[in-house]
Structure 1
Amino acid sequence: MNKNYIFKFILLAIPVSAFLLMSSSGGRNDARSGSPGDGGASCVTCHPGAVTDASAVITSNIPAAGYALDTDYTITINTTSSSSSVGFQLTAENSSDTKIGAFTAGSGSRIINSGASITHSTPSSSGDWSFTWRSPSTDLGAVTFYSAVNASAGQGSFSGNDQVVLVNTQAASLSISDAQRIDFAMYPNPATDILNIELPEISEKVTVEFYDQIGKLAYTQNLDANSKTINVRDLATGIYILKVIADNKIGTQKFIKQ
C-alpha cells in the first residue's frame, strides 16, 4: 500500500518538476535580482555553482553627469562564460531601495513586476542583452542597476550545477532643484542645420552641451546675449541630450539631429 502511494507521488512529481524547470528557463516572475529591494534574493539557492569562470558587467548610455528625467536609455548586460545557456534578472532602485523607472524588453528578454524588473525570455548562448530603461519623471535620486546572471554548467539548460553572478552599476540623477532649473525652448526639433535656443530671460553667457547616446560630450558652444543660434550641420545624425547652462542654472531636453 505504501509503495503504491510512493509510486503515485513520483508520477505526480515528474511533470511538476518539469514544469518548474521549463518555467525557470524562461525567467522567474518573482524577485531574484539580488537587489536590496528584492531582499537580496537571487537564484543562488537553486543554482549553486559548478561553473566558476562566469563574469558579467552592466553598461548604459546614461551620461557621466547623470540621467535626465523621463528619458529612454539603453541598458546592456554582457556575460563572459564557457556556458552556452545564460539567464538574468535585473532591476533599478534608488538609495531608499525603491524601484524607479520602467523597462521595455528587447530581444530575448521580457518585463516582470509591472515593468519594474526585466528577465530573459529564453536562455542565451552569448549571455548578452540590451533593453530600454525609461528614467522616472520626477527626481528620485541616483539609480543603481542590480542584476543576477545565471550561467549553467553546460548541460544546455538550467540545473543545480550553475553559477550565479551578482553585479550592479550606479548612475547619478541629472535632475536639479526648481531654483536651479532653467526652462528653455529650442526649435526646430528635429533639426538639420540651425538650432535656435530661447531663454526666459537675457543671459550674458550661455553654454550649450550636446551629449550623445553613450553619454559622451559630442559638442559644446558658448552663446551670448546677441546670438542664440547653433549650427548643428556637422553634428552626426542621432539623438542627443542637450544641456543649457546659464546664470548658474541648468536645463536639459532631448534633441534629434536629422
Structure 2
Amino acid sequence: MKKHYFLKFLLLLIPVSAFLLMSSSGGRDQNTTGSPGDSNNTCTQCHSAGANFNLSPSITTNIPVDGYELNKAYTINVNSSSSSSKLGFQLTAENSSNTKIGSFTAGTGSRVSGQRITQSAPSSSGNWSFTWVSPATNEGEVTFYAAVNATNGDFSTSGDQVVTTSTSAQVLGISEAKRLQFDMYPNPATESLTIQLPSSSDKATVQFYDYIGRLSLTKTITNSNDKININELSSGVYILKVLSNDKIGTQKFIKK
C-alpha cells in the first residue's frame, strides 16, 4: 500500500517539476541580479553550480563617456560567450545608495519584471538588447548589475554555471546656466500645488515622475496661472521637473 502511494506521489511530482522548470526558463521574478540592492542574490538560488561552460558575460551601453542625460532612453546590451546553448539572465540598475533607478523596456527575447529585466525564453547566443530610460532627476552614478546563467539543457537545476557582471556610468550634470530655480507650495499637498517661476520665465511645462521614473502627469503653467490640480495623482513621492526657456529645474514633491 505504501509503495502504491509513493508511486502516485512520484507521478504527480513529474508534471509539477516540469512546470516549474519551464516557467523559470522564461526568467524569474525574484531578485537574482547579484546587485547590492538584491542582497547579492543570483541564479544559484535555484541553479546549482558544478559545470564549466566557459561563461564570460559583459554589459555594454551607448551612454556617452561624460555621462547620461536625465529622462533619456539608452540601449543596454548583455553579451555572453559560452559553450552552452541555453542561457538566461537578469539585470537591474542601481545608484550608489543601492536604490533602483530608471525603467526598462524589453527587447527581443527579454521581458520586464518590476524593476528588473530578464529573458523571456532561453537564448542560444546569450545576447540581449533592450532599453533603459534614465531617471528624471539627478540620482548620481548608475551601475547595471547582471547575473547570467549557462545551463546544460537537461531540464534540471543542477550542473549549470552562473557568472555575474556589472558596469557603471556617470550622470551628466546640469550646468548652472541651464538650471531653473523655482519655488513650490504646499509640500506635501493633497489637491493643488502652486509653482512660482522666476521673473525671467513667464511659461513652463511641469512634469511629475514617480519613484521609478515613469511620467505620471504633465501640466503647463504661467506666471498668472501657476496652480496645478493634482487630484489625479496617487499618493506617494514624485520628482517634479520644470522646463522653461531651455532651462530645467527639479525638486522632490510628496502627494498626500
Calculate the TM-score normalised by the size of structure 2: 0.67
**Closer/same/farther in 2, CA of residues 156 and 65 from structure 1, 3 Å limit:** farther
1:218 matched residue in structure 2? none
Q: Deviations over 1:197-250 (max 9, x none)?
A: xxx8xxxxxxxxxxxxxxxxxxxxxxxxxxxxxxxxxxxxxxxxxxxxxxxxx9
- Indicate whether 1:118 and 2:114 are aligned: no
- Indicate whether 1:160 and 2:176 are aligned: no
1:19 matched residue in structure 2? 19
Cα distance in 2 for partners of 1:108, 1:24 equals 14
Secondary structure at the aligned position of 1:7 is classed as helix
Cα distance in 1 for partners of 2:105, 2:9 equals 41
- Indicate whether 1:88 and 2:84 are aligned: no
For residue 11 of structure 1, report the CA deviation from its aligned partner.
1.8
The answer to whether the Cα contact below 8 Å between 2:53 and 2:150 also exists between their aligned partners in 1 is no
1:54 matched residue in structure 2? 55
Secondary structure at the aligned position of 2:164 is classed as strand
Q: One-letter code of the match for 2:170?
A: A
1:40 matched residue in structure 2? 40
Cα distance in 1 for partners of 2:177, 2:154 equals 53
Over the matched positions of the two proteins, sequence identity in percent amounts to 57
For residue 174 of structure 1, report the CA deviation from its aligned partner.
1.0
**Closer/same/farther in 2, CA of residues 147 and 68 from structure 1, 3 Å limit:** same
1:203 matched residue in structure 2? none
For residue 158 of structure 1, report the CA deviation from its aligned partner.
6.2
Secondary structure at the aligned position of 1:92 is classed as strand
- Counterpart mapping for 1:104-143 below 5 A: 104-113=105-114, 116-143=115-142
Cα distance in 2 for partners of 1:86, 1:148 equals 11
**Structure 2, gaps ≥5 residues long:** 181-199, 201-245, 249-256
Cα distance in 1 for partners of 2:67, 2:83 equals 34
Secondary structure at the aligned position of 1:44 is classed as helix
**Structure 1, gaps ≥5 residues long:** 185-199, 201-249, 253-258
Residue-pair matches, total? 183
**Closer/same/farther in 2, CA of residues 6 and 157 from structure 1, 3 Å limit:** closer
Calculate the TM-score normalised by the size of structure 1: 0.66
Q: One-letter code of the match for 2:132?
A: W
For residue 5 of structure 1, report the CA deviation from its aligned partner.
2.6
The answer to whether the Cα contact below 8 Å between 2:67 and 2:169 also exists between their aligned partners in 1 is yes
